[in-house]
Structure 1
């Protein structure tokens, strides 16, 4: 039997994880000297309360190879395991899972989703559905490679404060962006994050985001959108309504962003996956 496993960065609901019997190996979050297991010791709302009241950014770390090996070893010998991880360009989780595979000697295929948040989560759901429909591991991986190639990931930064704190941008650049009211749209490209657009002002920011989406596809009727946010629920729901009105997609899912991506997204940040 094929069993699906993943790390905790996919931002899928507990209901979805239970529905598809998906095993989760949590990432670790260190905040103010305290260690938490993502999604177990610390929920996303609790994480963002702590994040926004702290002067220092938390540190996230991948599960250890031993943690993966121990989880892999719990399954029966005749189970086929498919472990989908957050992008290797964002975290060392993929490498850790590969090492865990070697340590355990279990029958594991490790797949790099080249994504985070719900772009990662959508691939997990797809893998689980295919497994339930009798596809082999090889057939599932082939289909996932197609899905991964087509996936769009837009990261909307309302503030650059956390990017500055994380050393990804100088304080001068961050201050200038704040003075000029600069908002940034980042894009996931081959598993890494690149700047796509810099926009001045909130209204232009929203308009540009919708323009970018509009140019990605001609028909959105079979498209699932995923929106993850850092506690700005009303903005995320307003964006959902706009996506439904303009593109008539199959569905729009709104979820809290997890610590892995949320650490750098900061206040007002959102990720759109489709």
Structure 2
């Protein structure tokens, strides 16, 4: 039976301290605030992040750095036979495609799960993967099982302000202005690869 470790990123909502308790590895997502790079839950807390956000800081997200990913995989493969890597949805970031490409150099020892999850659904995938690993499933078997039901979950989000949707190009400037004046708060849905308006 292979010794399998489950790895995810901080978009799962799993903190570094929780990851130690759970026995998983969480790669922190990098982001930039006013052109300075931070790692989520490493050198900036969520509270500090939201404080900077409300103060009007210029925030840009980024996918994990390639070197950070491969260095972590290399480190883990000294102790484990296989890795199941569960990144955020390929529809929301290029980090999944990059990981799939990188995994090709690991001769089947790293399986990247592309099951369109983020936040609580990504966290659930981590829990499911851990359970399957405990049952003796291989990394490839875990990947196949998780991807088989990738469209079986979704997330609904309600936003208080259209400011960040406008900044990210999800809403036009005119749409944001009209929505703000009328007090419209859209409900967004993440299902599969897409982030779409569900209701207003």
TM-score, shorter chain, exceeding 0.5: yes
Task: List gaps (5 residues or longer) in structure 1.
Answer: 199-274
Report the CA distance shift for 1:77/1:22 in structure 2 as closer, same or farther (over 3 A): closer
Q: C-alpha distance in 1, partners of 2:40/2:198?
A: 29
Q: Which residue of 2 aligns with 1:73?
A: 74
The 1:43/1:113 distance shift into structure 2, 3 A limit, reads farther
Q: Secondary structure at the match of 1:182?
A: coil
DSSP-derived class of the 1:194 partner: strand
Query: SS of the residue aligned with 2:147?
Result: helix
Residue 152 (structure 1) aligns with: 154
**Count of residue pairs brought into register by the alignment:** 197
Question: In the alignment, which residue of structure 2 is the partner of 1:49?
Answer: 51
Whether the aligned pair in 1 keeps the contact of 2:11 and 2:29 (CA below 8 Å) is: yes
Runs of 4+ more than 6 Å apart: none
The match for 2:97 is: 95
The reply to whether residue 119 of structure 1 matches residue 160 of structure 2 is no
| Structure 2: runs of 5+ lacking an equivalent | none
Where does residue 59 of structure 1 map in the other structure? 60
Taking structure 1 as the reference length, what is the TM-score of the superposition?
0.66
The verdict on how the C-alpha distance between 1:147 and 1:43 changes in structure 2, with shifts beyond 3 A counting, is farther
Task: Please report the RMSD computed on the Cα atoms of aligned residues, expressed in angstroms.
Answer: 2.0
Alpha-carbon distance, 1:140 to partner? 2.0
Label 1:7 to 1:19 Cα distance change in 2 as closer, same or farther (>3 A): same
Match of 1:128 in 2: 130
Alignment TM-score, normalising by the size of structure 2: 0.89
Deviation at 1:185, TM superposition (A): 0.9
Separation in 2 of the partners of 1:186 and 1:78? 39
